[in-house]
Amino acid sequence: MAYKIIYNTGVSFISNARTLVEAKKEATEHAGYGFGSIFITEGEDSDFSGDPVAVRFEHDNEWTEPEI
């Protein structure tokens, strides 16, 4: 499964991760100051309109996994 990492700033990329845990780590490592929020979605063609499998906000150190 491919994971797409999308920052609230508009930057996005396809993760090299094989698992969601690895994708979260990669997203956190690449987040710069002022990123606002990070959304991780499944699939290379997904975007903000897709259902995120994980969300993290800058003011929070925890990832949230919304119920699908």
Q: What is the pLDDT of residues 7-25, one digit of tens each?
A: 998 899 999 999 999 999 9
DSSP 23-45: HHHHHHHHPPTT--EEEEEESTT
In a domain, 27, yes or no: yes
Sheet holding 54-57, edge to edge: 12-14, 3-7, 37-42, 54-57
- What's the structural domain count of the chain? 1
pLDDT at 28 over 70: yes
In a domain, 30, yes or no: yes
Other Cβ atoms within 10 Å of 66 Cβ, number: 10
pLDDT at 61 over 90: no
Q: Which domain holds residue 10?
A: 3-57
pLDDT band at residue 51 using 50, 70 and 90 as cut-offs: confident
